[in-house]
Chains A and B, each alone.
Chain A
Amino acid sequence: MKPKDVSILIVDDEPSIRNSLAGWFKMDGYKTEVAEDAYEALKKLQENNFDIALLDIKMPEMDGIELQRRIKEIDKNIITIIITAYATVETAIQAMKDGAFDYITKPIDPDELSRLIKKAIEQRRLIAENIMLRGKIEELQSLDEIIGESPAIKKVMELINTVAETDSTVMIRGESGTGKELVARAIHAKSKRRYFPIVTINCGAYPEGLLESELFGHEKGAFTGALYQRKGKLEMANKGTLFLDEVGNISLKMQMDLLRVLETKKFTRLGGDKVIEADFRVISATNRDLEQAVREGSFREDLYYRLNVFTIFLPPLRERKSDIPLLTYHFIKKFSLSMNKDVKEISKEAMNLLMDYDWPGNVRELRNVIERAMVNVKGSRIEVDDLYFSISSPYPKPEGETLEDVEKAHIKKILNKTGWNITKAAEILNIDRVTLYNKIEKYKLRK
């Protein structure tokens, strides 16, 4: 961090002290702001981001200790340093317990002050680096979990690469467990926005009012319980990507609000009137039939078109079964590392079981099955007995009661085996191509 990238807030009720501190830091090239009391400080903190806050411990109305607590609620990563006179060292110790980085006593040795600020900046850099690293690890994980050789998944990877470079709005469609969030992260990680955050919000997980405040943030007192101002996810996603998961589940009122934000990139926090601008790319995901929802009137058509500029369909696992071995070995390797186990393979019988299963929970379910198997496994090879299927029976469900069920499953199996090569599949099934087409239509089989 260069000094000019470091901003320092100085809070002291004594003008000569805050001005001399500000002057001192300016000479060192830092950006500084001063506040004469806690209220002014909190206001400035809500308008700007600061790296370091220097707080005088003794101030009328709200002292430095209380101010520090409130600052930490707004941004827990701000480095706070307490300024104290000798008489109040005990309170300074309380401030340290509350998370102050350090405290200094007046008058300060210039060298001590410079050293302290350098140390604080280093700490700040480490925090930022950690946050970035954590993000990077998640991204890397996402990148190496989109795995497969099947035409269907290769197509998805191609689309990710194409769309990542553009700044286009993307909608990811697919059943749950197919890895929609991984795709969103992969797009973000390959885009020019990758040095900024990807902020995920699961629209299905909040009741309407809360979703609003999650997205837009709120001002202090916007509703009961809104004790402090809070930034919303839209603001946090500035310069980065906003990932709206389960976007099909939001209320009509929220759909309208969201549409307005996507069109203007401007909004206000709940209970506030300051217009905030944020520049973010939107990626959304849903497992709902949105076209149906539009027809029914439960999803706004204009929002649908806004979100659906570029679509990526994620195939369910049962339609890309040729990827199961690759995925299985990937998960074995991954869990071997994280569980510190030396498992290298899976028996042929166990693999057959995985291949025959229908995977209603998709890749996520496969991952869970392998994870459990890795816990159970005794030797270096996963056996049939190690496999437990979480959703239905521990074994693949019977191929069906009726003859039609059996026929449907068999045709599907052959189609998948041949990679949907109709001629080959017809040959194996010993029927002609037209008959096969008719059966595909009848059973509504899809790649």
Chain B
Amino acid sequence: MPSIYIVPAWLEENHDLEFLRLRISEVFRKKTVIYESKKIDFHSIYNPSRKQYNSSQFLIQLLNNHPKDALRILGVTDVDLFIPILTFVFGEAQLNGIAGVVSVHRLNNKFYGLPENEELLRKRLIKEAIHELGHTYGLVHCLTPGCVMNSSTYVEDIDEKSEFFCSYCSSVIRG
């Protein structure tokens, strides 16, 4: 059955992504499955001088190794991601494609030296996952206040927006 696949690609801890699976299946109204892939090779995408991982190459690896019936495939990692031109990214997606990636690295209060807050971290991850999947449906950054498709540069921007699409963006998702 055609599904949205969530691919955990942790390096250190094993996170339980059940909350994310439920939320994504609700939002996109598609069967959503957590899919363990052995084929993601993080060593090859590591950039030692930046001490970061290349997000575009992560995306390519997902695309080369996805189940045949994948409607969408979302990689979730906790390493710090970059694209060559930028200092960092929270995530990346193919516009109108099938793949997206998100990283919890900079969503975690720990990164900013703040007390950990598991609930806040989950909320941020849900927003960024929905946001990146939104791009795969062809959505670009939205200026409607609160829409999950608002672009966010800082973690505070993520906290400021909701996890919902505005009426325009949701009409695109619903087709």
Contacts and interface: CB of A to CB of B under 8 A. Distances in A.
B33 to A, nearest CB: 26
Given A16-B56, A114-B151, A114-B153, A27 B135 contact: yes
Contacts of B78: none
A108 B83 CA distance: 10
Contacts of B86: 20, 24, 107-110, 113
- Residues of B contacting A: mostly: loop
A10 B141 CA distance: 20
Contacts of B83: 20, 23-24
A110 B87 contact: yes
Given A26-B140, A29-B140, A29-B141, A107 B92 contact: no
B95 A111 contact: no
Contact of A108 (B50, B87, B151): B87
Given A27-B141, A29-B140, A107 B151 contact: no
Contacts of A24: 83, 85-86
A107 B141 contact: no
B55 to A, nearest CB: 9
A194 to B, nearest CB: 30
Interface in B46-96: 50, 56, 82-89, 92-93, 95
A28 B85 contact: no
A20 B141 contact: no
Interface string B139-164: 01100000000010110000000000
B40 to A, nearest CB: 19
Contacts of B84: 14, 16-17, 20, 106-107
B141 A21 contact: no
A245 B82 CA distance: 58
Given A23-B95, A26-B140, A27-B141, A109 B56 contact: no
Interface string A72-108: 0000000000010000000000000000000000111
A110 B88 contact: yes
Nearest to B90: A110
A185 to B, nearest CB: 38
B99 to A, nearest CB: 12
Contact of B85 (A29, A106, A111, A114): A106
Contacts of A110: 86-89, 153
Interface in A221-235: none
A26 B95 contact: yes
Contacts of A379: none
A4 to B, nearest CB: 8
A358 B86 CA distance: 73
A418 interface: no
Interface string B82-122: 11111111001101000000000000000000000000000
Most A C-beta atoms less than 10 A away, residue of B50, B84, B85, B88: B85
Contacts of A272: none
Given A26-B95, A29-B140, A17 B85 contact: yes
B140 A27 contact: yes
Most A C-beta atoms less than 10 A away, residue of B50, B86, B88: B86
Given A23-B92, A106-B85, A108-B85, A28 B153 contact: no
B38 to A, nearest CB: 26
A107 B95 contact: no
Nearest to B56: A20
A3 interface: yes
Contacts of A108: 85-87
Contacts of A28: 140-141, 151
Contacts of A83: 85
A347 interface: no
A53 to B, nearest CB: 15
Contacts of A113: 85-86
A21 B85 contact: yes
A19 interface: yes
Interface string A18-56: 011101101111000000000000000000000000000
A156 B141 CA distance: 53
A121 to B, nearest CB: 13
A78 B39 CA distance: 45
17 contacts: A3-B141, A16-B56, A20-B83, A20-B86, A23-B83, A24-B86, A26-B95, A27-B141, A27-B151, A28-B140, A29-B140, A29-B141, A106-B85, A107-B86, A109-B86, A110-B153, A111-B154
Given A3-B141, A110-B86, 6 more contacts: A16-B56, A20-B85, A23-B56, A23-B92, A83-B85, A113-B85
